[in-house]
C-alpha cells in the first residue's frame, strides 16, 4: 500500500546518546517498507536496537507473498530484529512503527515513525451466471458450442492510485466432484488447489476495470446412464503495483458454485436437475494460498 516516506530522524535521548534512524519507503502501494537502525560507533555504551510495531503493526501487514503455479504462500512479518522488510496490505493513515533501543546499562529509548498508507479505492466485484445445460456432448455451465456463452463472468472495477497497477484474478478451486453411472461406477474429485494457473487473468497497467470468465463442464460418455457434477470455487481480486520490490495485494473475493445431474435414455441425454449461484463479493485482505495447481481432465476411472 502507498506510504508517505518520513525523513531520517536523529533524536538525543539522553543528550549524550544519539538514536539514529533511517526509514526508506517506496512510494507505491504494496511496495516494500524497509526499516533499520544503525548504532553510532561513537556511542559511549554498548547498545542493541530492534523494531517494535504499535501495535503489530496497525492494520494488515505481511513479510512477503510468493505466488506461482506451484504454490502461493504468505511470509510472516518479523519485528523482533534489527532490520526488517514488510508490506502493508490495507490502507489507513497514522500507522506507527517504533524503534526501541536498549543500552548495556539497561536503559530503554524509543523513536516512533508514522506512515499514511493509501491504495486502490472504490473496489467492486460482481459475477453473472448462465444456466446449466446439455451441449453437443458436455454437461456444462454456459455453452461451448458457437455461439458460445460463458458460464460465469466476473467484472471488477476500482479507482487506481496516483501510481497505477494491474488488476489480477486468481481462482482457487475448493472442490469439483464427478460421478458416472456406467455399471461399475466411477467417482472422482479435483481440488483443492489453484485453478489452472497464476494469475487466472489480468488487466493492463492502469486499467480501472477488468473482466474474466469461466465455463466449467464435464463430458457425457455414451457408456454411462447418468452423470453428476458439483463444483465450488473462489475468485480472488488482487492488485499488483507497477513497480519493483512489490507484491500483489488482495482486495476482495467471490465464492461461486454449480451442479448438474444428467441422465441418458435411449441414447439421448437430458438434464435431471441443476443449480448455479454466485455469492456477494467480500472485501478482504486475506491472501489466497495453495500448494498445487489443479488441471481438470478426463477422470482416470473412465
The confidence score (pLDDT) of residue 115 equals 76
The Cα–Cα gap between 180 and 228 comes to: 7
The Cα–Cα gap between 154 and 213 comes to: 6
What's the fold here for domain 2-118? Immunoglobulin-like (2.60.40)
CA 208 to chain centroid: 18
| Tens-place pLDDT, residues 169-220 | 999 999 999 999 987 778 999 999 999 999 999 999 999 999 999 999 999 9
Core vs surface per residue 131-161: b (16+ CB within 10 A) or e = ebbbbeebbbbbbeeeeebbbbbbebbbebb
The Cα–Cα gap between 139 and 220 comes to: 7
The Cα–Cα gap between 259 and 178 comes to: 10
Task: Tell me which residues of the chain have a pLDDT lower than 50.
Answer: 1-29, 42-45, 55-56
The H-or-E segment that residue 123 falls in is strand 121-129
Whether the full predicted model's pTM is greater than 0.75, yes or no, is yes
The confidence score (pLDDT) of residue 15 equals 28
- Would you list the domain boundaries of the chain? 2-118, 121-294
Amino acid at each position: 500500500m502507498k506510504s508517505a516516506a518520513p525523513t531520517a530522524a536523529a533524536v538525543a535521548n539522553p543528550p549524550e546518546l544519539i538514536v539514529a534512524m533511517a526509514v526508506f519507503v517506496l512510494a507505491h502501494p504494496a511496495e516494500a517498507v524497509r526499516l533499520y537502525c544503525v548504532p553510532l560507533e561513537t556511542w559511549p555504551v554498548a547498545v542493541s536496537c530492534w523494531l517494535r510495531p504499535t501495535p503489530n503493526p496497525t492494520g494488515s501487514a505481511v513479510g512477503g507473498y510468493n505466488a506461482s503455479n506451484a504454490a502461493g504462500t504468505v511470509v510472516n512479518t518479523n519485528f523482533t530484529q534489527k532490520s526488517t522488510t514488510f508490506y502493508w496490505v490495507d490502507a489507513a493513515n497514522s500507522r506507527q512503527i517504533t524503534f526501541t533501543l536498549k543500552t548495556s546499562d539497561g536503559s530503554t529509548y524509543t523513536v516512533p515513525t508514522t506512515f499514511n498508507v493509501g491504495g486502490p479505492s472504490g473496489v467492486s466485484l460482481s459475477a453473472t451466471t448462465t444456466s446449466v445445460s446439455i451441449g453437443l456432448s458436455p454437461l456444462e455451465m454456459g455453452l461451448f458450442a458457437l455461439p458460445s456463452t460463458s458460464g460465469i463472468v466476473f467484472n471488477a472495477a476500482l479507482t487506481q492510485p496516483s501510481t497505477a497497477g494491474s488488476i489480477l484474478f486468481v481462482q482457487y478451486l475448493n472442490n469439483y466432484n464427478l460421478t458416472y453411472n456406467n455399471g461399475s461406477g466411477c467417482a472422482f474429485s479435483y481440488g483443492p488447489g489453484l485453478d489452472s494457473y497464476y494469475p487466472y487473468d489480468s488487466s493492463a497497467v492502469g486499467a480501472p476495470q477488468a473482466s474474466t470468465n469461466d465455463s466449467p463442464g464435464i463430458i457425457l460418455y455414451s457408456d454411462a446412464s447418468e452423470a453428476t457434477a458439483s463444483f465450488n470455487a473462489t475468485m480472488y481480486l488482487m492488485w499488483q503495483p507497477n513497480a519493483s520490490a512489490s507484491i500483489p495485494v488482495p482486495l476482495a473475493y467471490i465464492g461461486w458454485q454449480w451442479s448438474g445431474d444428467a441422465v441418458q435414455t435411449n441414447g439421448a441425454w437430458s438434464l435431471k436437475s441443476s443449480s448455479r449461484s454466485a455469492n456477494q463479493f467480500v472485501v478482504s485482505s486475506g491472501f489466497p494460498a495453495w500448494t498445487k495447481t489443479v488441471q481438470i481432465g478426463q477422470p482416470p476411472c473412465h
